[in-house]
Amino acid sequence: MTIAKLDPSTTTFPAPDRLDPKLLAAARELDAATLHEAAGKIGVLPPAIKPVGQGFKICGTAVPVQCPGGDNLWLHRALSDAQAGDVLVVHVSGQYEHGYWGEIMSTAAKARGLAGLVIDGCVRDVTLLENIGFPVFARGLCIRGTSKDFSARGWINAPTLFDDVTVHAGDLIVGDADGLVCIPRAHIPAAIDAARQRATREAAECLQLANGAMSTLQLYGWE
């Protein structure tokens, strides 16, 4: 029996305009935790998703991807569609323990100028991924292979839920060793301004604490 192939264009949506390069440059100077706090404590992506390489950091425009469990064909499609500076933010329908991404895909993504991969699932080839240097954040490592079902439905650039955070195409994704944050597109300029102010204030506070000028209780008026 022949199984009809699904037309991927039916669930692949147009990407919004890419983020202003000046906003991205400003965001790269900030850490994920500061952006999260300054934006009103929003946007934390699942903390189980961690960088798989030493020093990996991510800052770029979100391209949400929904894959069928155990299948990475839609991830290949998203990799082909994405543009320089994009971050693939991938949901694997709760079937974490497959190696959805590895050396081949990291090599292709780096050549295309993508800004990183965030996947709520596992990857493989960790030593090679570190050597390639393309930033990958994943739930873990697994060598179990994936399928390529041309009849299975997935989505690219559709709103995608990660725990309690919905990632939309065009949102800002920032990640570092502490975690990942998604800032909604409309809130990005205000979040960056607030994060800069917070970083400046905290630097001054740390100086006071380092000098022994006061305790944290005194600093924050909690006595």
Supply the DSSP string of 27-92, one letter for each residue: HHTS-HHHHHHHTTS--BPPTT-EESSTT--EEEEEEEEE--TTB-HHHHHHHHH--TTEEEEEE-
Among 26, 45, 14, 29, smallest CA distance to 156 is for 14
pLDDT at 93: 96
Give the number of domains in the chain. Answer: 1
Q: Is 117 helix (H, G, I), strand (E, B) or coil?
A: strand
pLDDT at 52: 97
**Is 194 within a domain?**
yes
Residue 103 annotated as lining a ligand binding site: yes
**Is 212 within a domain?**
yes
State the Cα–Cα distance between residues 97 and 26, nearest whole angstrom: 36
Cα–Cα distances (Å) from 73 to 22, 152, 215, in that order, read 33, 9, 55
Taking the chain (223 residues) in consecutive chunks of 10 residues, what is each chunk's mean pLDDT? 81 92 96 97 98 97 98 97 97 97 98 98 97 98 96 97 97 98 97 96 92 88 88
**Is 210 within a domain?**
yes
Residue 104 annotated as lining a ligand binding site: yes
Angle at 217 between CA 214 and CA 223, to 5 degrees: 115
Q: Is the sign of the CA dihedral 201, 206, 209, 210 positive or negative? A: negative
What is the CATH classification number for the domain harbouring 82? 3.50.30.40
**Is 60 within a domain?**
yes
Kindly report the pTM of this predicted structure: 0.95
pLDDT at 219: 87
Residue 60 annotated as lining a ligand binding site: no
**Is 5 within a domain?**
no
**Residues forming beta bridges with residue 166, ordered by sequence position:** 161
Range of the structural domain that residue 93 is part of: 10-219
- Residue 184: both structure tokens together: 């909604």
Among 133, 173, 136, smallest CA distance to 24 is for 173
Residue 153 annotated as lining a ligand binding site: no
Residue 124 annotated as lining a ligand binding site: yes
Calculate the CA 47 to chain-centre distance: 11
**Is 71 within a domain?**
yes
pLDDT at 4: 78
**Is 3 within a domain?**
no
**Is 40 within a domain?**
yes
Residue 164 annotated as lining a ligand binding site: no
Angle at 135 between CA 132 and CA 136, to 5 degrees: 105
pLDDT at 179: 97
